[in-house]
Amino acid sequence: GTLPSIADTGANVRYPELDLSSLGKFFRGYGWPEYARALLDGDTIGEKCFRSYEDLFDEPLTRDELESASKDVASWPMESDNLGGVGFGVLRSGQDENQLAAIMQYGHANAGHAHRDRLGIEVISGGKRVVPDAGYPTHAAEHPDPPVWEKNTVSHMCVVVNESRQDTSDEGELVRFAKGVRVQHIEVSSPRAYLGIDTYQRGVTLVELEPDLNVMVDLFHVKGGWAHDYSFHGFEGEFFTDGVSFDTQNGGTLAGPQIAYGEIYDDPELVEHARMPGPPGTNGKRSYGSYHGSGFSYLYNVARGRLNGQFAGNWKDDEMGLRMLVPEGVAQEVITAQGKPPNKPSSPDHFDYVLLRNRGDSEADRLHSIFAVVCETFRNQPRITGVDRLSASSEDAIGIKVSWEDGICYLASNTGEGETVTFDEGLALDGGFGVLTLGKDGKARWGCVSGRLISLLKATVSGPGTWRGTVREVDFEGCSVVVEPSPGCERPPCNETLAGSNITHVWNFPVESVSEESGSYRLKLGAERLRIGRFVIDEEIEDGLSTRTWIHREWEDTEDSGCHYLIGARVAHKGRLWEIEKVYPRPDVGGHRFVFSGSIPYSGPDYGDPVIFDLGPGDDCVMRQTVYQEF
């Protein structure tokens, strides 16, 4: 029920806000009991329904109406969730003041309000934004601050590649999502964040080590390019570091000692265009929104140090503390700096940033980084005593050892496929992700694995591995699919996430039920509909359709033209189901031109106008089940 600061949303950088006005609209539209419960908890009844100007046009909600609708929901659900349709994941661990939550936004967002922050995360603990996304920028008009800094990749909790902003804001591909008693996990690959980069994949895990001790483990795999900068910042408060000796840079900014604050040092053409008369677009004048550089000149008070042991960054105020722990071996250099959030009433003067930096050969363009960060929040004193990186037998894998007074937690991640990876201290992983914890006595307590096994000494957690199949039929109105398992795979699991693709288009849905149908299986998907769009035909052309309906208001036919997420989706029209091969904007008349690559018969409902569906027959699909075990 709280409002995350995704792109141009969120006005309060300190505390998440309960958006009761929007919840009221959602309840009126959908009638969901969870919305009714949240409105009751927020006392949004009678005249208190009027939270915005738009609310004046709706009938006030009554207590009887909300209590009747929410009678089977005792409280707002506080479990982890993944909304595959929009590409939004939220992890929740712990309760009340011990609750830790992480939010990841990975869906397509190419409208004008998008930020260059695919796979960016925000962290909330005990109701406080401890790793805040600053949200809406200072200016809505033509100005350098929003595109060069406030919307740029470096100001968010992301990895900057080759000292430039992300190339696109296109959708990421869900690798796995797991929610359990003690482990919450989401892992997403974003191959189009930086075009030409081999790997850009993030796995975020919340682990409940004790009922009052929850930690976040962030593993970010990046392969390709010559420069990788992992950007992190905490909330307003006292900031101090441990474990690294820093040399303070004499003036300037992160862009260099001679580069002034806010200077557009890496795009001189844009500086010249800014001096031209008239608005952007006049005589070819570029907008500040076309900036593609680093934004490093907005980070000041720079200090640098080498990572030769464990590093700790600490943020603390009167309410709580945040500790960022970085093991040796994941970065060459640690940089601290300050950056200003958008100028809003709730904004502090600055945020304190920590950047983990790796540099490689600019000609080889083959730099490989696996950034590892463990975050702990605390009220009195931190309890994590150490974080170590474990050497792995594969360059695509990393092992992390987290120690505290009463035990040890081992976490392993591997972006490779089909091999068992061994780590220091006898840890082994056959799969993509796993956790094993030991008590103070050295005995295994519990573990989980997404794959075939994770083992340490005599403790082993086994799993079925990855289930794979192909979509053969789709019930577009009933929101179910018939899938055929791949050779070696049997009955697909229930209550897991089904992720699918046809190379260009990706999707994912939760599976609510599984039933056998003549050697194949029907999966009921947790979705209200599979339609993702519709449009009015302007003209039928030889290889597709033209429409004046705007799908995205992007003018140029570029890699970042805003409609990539539709490529590979299906269009139902005149009894045929067509696959979208390309979408071109039509700036002269408005709307878009769809180019189709082929079709199959369609026997679903006739909606009158063409309808776009998220998936179709022939799509490949996978489920990466996570198995939990107590010892």
DSSP states along 108-130 = ---STT--S-TT-EEEEETTEEE
Instruction: Give Cα separations from 341 to 9, 150, 283 (angstroms).
Output: 14, 7, 33
Q: What's the confidence (pLDDT) of residue 554?
A: 47
Distances, alpha carbon 140 to alpha carbons 148, 340, 342, 435, in Å: 13, 17, 11, 45
Q: Are 255 and 249 in contact (CB under 8 A)?
A: no
Q: Find out whether 1 and 23 touch, Cβ atoms under 8 Å.
A: yes
**pLDDT for position 555:** 44
Going from the C-alpha of 81 to that of each of 262, 401, 524, 615, the distances in angstroms are 39, 27, 18, 21
Please tell me the predicted confidence (pLDDT) of residue 561: 55
Asked whether the beta carbons of 195 and 220 are under 8 A apart, the reply is no
- Is 499 within 8 Å of 623 (Cβ atoms)? yes
Which pLDDT belongs to residue 557?
45
User: Per this entry, what is the length of the chain?
Assistant: 631
> Which residues of the chain have a pLDDT value below 70?
1-18, 77, 110-112, 551-562
What gap in Å lies between CA 618 and CA 501, rounded to an integer? 9
Q: What pLDDT is attached to residue 111? A: 61
Q: What pLDDT shows up at residue 174?
A: 97
Tokens of 198: 């081999």
CB 118 within 8 A of CB 165: no
- Which tokens in the block code for residue 202? 């993030």
Q: Which residues contact 578 (CB under 8 A, 6 or more apart)?
A: 544, 570, 571, 572, 596, 597, 598, 599
CB 298 within 8 A of CB 148: yes
41: left (phi over 0), alpha (psi -120 to 50) or beta: alpha
Q: Helix (H, G, I), strand (E, B), or coil: what is residue 72?
A: coil
Both tokens of residue 135? 């949200």
Q: How far apart are CA 398 and CA 423, in angstroms?
A: 8
Q: What is the 3-state secondary structure (H, E, C) of 246-296?
A: CEECCCCECCECCCCCCCCCCCHHHHHHHCCCCCCCHHHCCCHHHCCCCCH
Opening angle at CA 247, ends 243 and 251, nearest 5: 140
Local structure of residue 54 (DSSP, 8 states):
G
Which tokens belong to 299? 């980070």
pTM across the whole model: 0.93
